Amino acid sequence: MTSITQSTSSSSELQEFLARPQKILIDGLWTDASSGETFDIFNPATGDVIAKVPRGNNDDIDRAVDAARRAFDTSNWTRWRPNKREELLWRISERISELAHEFAELESLDNGKPVGIAAAFDVRASADCFRYYAGWPSKIQGSVNNPSMLLAPEEAEFHSFTRHEPVGVCGQIIPWNFPLLMAAWKIAPALATGNTVVLKPAEQTPTTALLLGQVLVDAGVPAGVVNIVTGYGDIGAAISEHPGVDKVAFTGSTEVGKKIVAASSGNLKKVSLELGGKSPNIVFEDADIDSAVAGVLQGFTLNSGQACEAGTRVFVHESIYDDFNNALADQVRALTVGPGNDPASDITPLVSQEQLDRVVGYLEAGKEAGAVALVGGNRHGDSGYFVEPTVFTDTTEDMSIVQEEIFGPVAVSIPFSDDSEVIDAANRSHYGLAAGLWTKDLSRAHRVANRLNAGSVWVNTFHALDSALPFGGYHQSGWGRELGAESIELYTQVKSVTMAI
Ligand code: NAP
Ligand code: MG
């Protein structure tokens, strides 16, 4: 059984964890993949192998779904009292905080992101997510309704009420950009509402999900309630089409989101999707320019641009366009590109060779199409998966760098002349995840926020994510909203009960 039980932290402990044979979690037991196969996990800063994890296959998914089904149908998990569920979620949150250092180091090693950011954001936000959902079980309420019952005799009386019940076995498929946090966003509301889970982490970054699995077991999550199977996309597909799965929750590319929708049709499982984005970040002429430059910079460089909500289409009013671009370019040049374990690094490596190739492909396509790299535009160095943070100007709307999600530290800067023009341009996207706007004019802020087609609009700030705020997208950025009360809705279904009395 894989176990990190010490709360004291050191790199050597982490090395010890990584040196152990990793296992998958099925029915409360840590096991090998049924094939016995494993696959390598790489350090993005060096390309070195840091761990081997089991390569789960369809048989493992069948075993995991069976375990989740049994836990849902035959254990008393769904009938746990709310306060017991709250205590469990709270213990998980506390344990993540105790292991914050291990989680942050491991996340950085696996994904490449700065250890400091992993600690300050990813791990804290994951603990916060469990803490937030620890507050929910006792507040989930139905209603008492007043039906007219048209066919019943006048003197008949009825009592009707609603219950919010768990959906059942939930397949959860998550990406590599915020590996621990995405596991938390999925698992915490599912447990708060009494579902059972089969989680598939991304093939690039499965290690923190396995460490989280240990936390869940230690905290007292019953056998079969959360199962974690590592592997490739084929097992994501197996979860999506599995007749024993009642709901799939997915975060990742729009392309795979569409495959999941198609695969889920066999048993019409419920589907929630958090997909890609190409978010606009709009700087009006009356904005506080220093804050706007800092916010735009953070908007497209956080997590080296590997964030679905990244503000990668920067619209700047024509009257300040050149000055703004020059100030932004100066800030970009001041960024340090380096590994996640160096506190000086601002831009850390992309997650994989594949992602490096994809992002460099976009940089080349942008230059070939005639866009000008005001700053950056190339791979950084020749080892590890680093790219230069890049701002393009002189773009046209048909260019792939303007239309498509790049998932690297790359923005395009586009001038505009008035509010309605920029609202239309910002909305001309098949995505609609987030949008930022920078202005001191309160009326303009409200008007523009109302008109932007995006699930989250941020005024004079960016990346404003919080456990209490719903998150998700318009258009092809997804279905449904995660976090806040909305995730409670995603993981429950409503039953009305009517009694003739
Ligand atoms: P992806 O393929 O969408 O991967 C996300 C998750 O889906 C992973 O766990 C993946 O498994 C799994 N998966 C792959 N094929 C599947 C299938 N047919 N059915 C069910 N699950 C499947 O994303 P990616 O290839 O890693 O990245 C490609 C692009 O997606 C990025 O460049 C970026 O534009 C976008 N992306 C968006 C987000 C986001 O937060 N919205 C996150 C990551 C990537 P494997 O890991 O084994 O492939
Ligand atoms: Mg993939």
**Residue 499 counted as domain residue:** no
Residue 233 CA, ligand 2 centroid: distance in Å: 6
Same domain, 312 and 412: yes
Residue 204 CA, ligand 2 centroid: distance in Å: 9
Residue 237 CA, ligand 1 centroid: distance in Å: 11
What was the pLDDT predicted at 8?
35
**Residue 259 counted as domain residue:** yes
* DSSP character string of 379-442: B-SSSSS-B--EEEES--TTSHHHHS---SSEEEEEEESSHHHHHHHHH-SS--SEEEEE-S-H
Residue 13 CA, ligand 1 centroid: distance in Å: 30
Ligand 1 mutation target, pool 253, 264, 308, 352, most atoms within 8 A of CB: 253
What CATH number does the domain containing 59 carry?
Answer: 3.40.605.10
Distance between CA atoms of 307 and 382, rounded to whole angstroms?
24
Ligand 1 mutation target, pool 247, 256, 264, most atoms within 8 A of CB: 256
Structural domain that includes position 41: 12-275+478-493
260-311 pLDDT tens trace: 999 999 999 999 999 999 999 999 999 999 999 999 999 999 999 999 999 9
**Residue 355 counted as domain residue:** yes
What are the CA-CA distances from residue 57 to residues 33, 36, 204, 239 (Å)? 7, 10, 16, 10
Q: How many helices (H) and strands (E) does the chain have?
A: 17, 20
**Residue 286 counted as domain residue:** yes
Nearest ligand, CA of residue 111?
Answer: 1
**Mean pLDDT (whole number) for 25-54:** 96
Distance between CA atoms of 288 and 73, rounded to whole angstroms?
57
Is residue 477 within 8 A of residue 280, CB to CB? The reply is no
Nearest ligand, CA of residue 249?
Answer: 1
Helix (H, G, I), strand (E, B) or coil at 344: coil
**Mean pLDDT (whole number) for 165-171:** 98
Helix (H, G, I), strand (E, B) or coil at 39: strand
449-481 pLDDT tens trace: 999 999 999 999 999 999 999 999 999 999 999
List the residue whose alpha carbon is closest to atom 10 of ligand 1.
Answer: 233
Strands 247-251 and 270-274 turn out to be parallel
Distance between CA atoms of 53 and 19, rounded to whole angstroms?
11
Distance between CA atoms of 327 and 337, rounded to whole angstroms?
19
Residue 202 CA, ligand 2 centroid: distance in Å: 8
Atom from ligand 1 closest to the CA of residue 358: 32
Is residue 391 within 8 A of residue 332, CB to CB? The reply is yes
Same domain, 261 and 304: no
Strand partners, 492: 166
Atom from ligand 1 closest to the CA of residue 176: 43
Atom from ligand 1 closest to the CA of residue 173: 9
**Mean pLDDT (whole number) for 233-245:** 98
List the residue whose alpha carbon is closest to atom 39 of ligand 1.
Answer: 252
What are the CA-CA distances from residue 135 to residues 40, 122, 126, 189, 486 (Å)? 38, 20, 15, 10, 14
What was the pLDDT predicted at 2?
30
Same domain, 236 and 121: yes
By residue count, the chain amounts to 501
312-351 pLDDT tens trace: 999 999 999 999 999 999 999 999 999 999 999 999 999 9
Same domain, 166 and 36: yes
Residue 241 among the catalytic residues? no
What CATH number does the domain containing 377 carry?
Answer: 3.40.309.10
Which residues, other chains included, contact 315 with Cβ-Cβ below 8 Å and sequence gap of 6+?
Answer: 280, 281, 282, 283, 414, 415, 416, 422, 425, 426
Distance between CA atoms of 123 and 436, rounded to whole angstroms?
25
List the residue whose alpha carbon is closest to atom 32 of ligand 1.
Answer: 407
387-414 pLDDT tens trace: 999 999 999 999 999 999 999 999 999 9
Same domain, 324 and 270: no
477-499 pLDDT tens trace: 999 999 999 999 999 999 999 99
Distance between CA atoms of 244 and 68, rounded to whole angstroms?
9
Catalytic: which of 107, 274, 309, 482?
A: 274
What was the pLDDT predicted at 17?
80
**Mean pLDDT (whole number) for 427-451:** 98
Residue 312 CA, ligand 2 centroid: distance in Å: 21
Distance between CA atoms of 225 and 84, rounded to whole angstroms?
15
Helical (H) or strand (E) element with 167 = none
Same domain, 271 and 285: no
Same domain, 266 and 288: no
Ligand 1 mutation target, pool 24, 40, 55, 173, most atoms within 8 A of CB: 173
Nearest ligand, CA of residue 202?
Answer: 1
Same domain, 217 and 127: yes
Q: Is the pLDDT of residue 15 over 90?
A: no
Phi, psi of 352 (to 5 degrees): -155, 165
The count of structural domains within the chain is 2
Residue 200 CA, ligand 2 centroid: distance in Å: 12
What was the pLDDT predicted at 206?
98
List the residue whose alpha carbon is closest to atom 27 of ligand 1.
Answer: 253
Average pLDDT, the chain: 96
**Mean pLDDT (whole number) for 99-125:** 97
**Residue 1 counted as domain residue:** no
Give the pLDDT band of residue 7 (cuts 50, 70, 90).
very low
Same domain, 428 and 460: yes
Nearest ligand, CA of residue 255?
Answer: 1
Phi, psi of 103 (to 5 degrees): -60, -45
**Mean pLDDT (whole number) for 206-233:** 98
List the residue whose alpha carbon is closest to atom 45 of ligand 1.
Answer: 233
* pTM of full prediction above 0.95: yes
59-76 pLDDT tens trace: 999 999 999 999 999 999
Q: Which residues line ligand 1 (CB under 6 A)?
A: 173-177, 200, 202-203, 232-233, 236-237, 240, 251-253, 256, 259-260, 274-276, 308, 358, 405, 407
What was the pLDDT predicted at 6?
30
**Residue 128 counted as domain residue:** yes
Nearest ligand, CA of residue 306?
Answer: 1
Same domain, 214 and 246: yes
List the residue whose alpha carbon is closest to atom 28 of ligand 1.
Answer: 253
Same domain, 259 and 405: no
Same domain, 336 and 191: no
**Residue 288 counted as domain residue:** yes
Residue 440 CA, ligand 2 centroid: distance in Å: 41
**Mean pLDDT (whole number) for 205-231:** 98
303: exposed, middle or buried (Cβ count in 10 Å: 0-12, 13-18, 19+): buried
Distance between CA atoms of 316 and 297, rounded to whole angstroms?
13
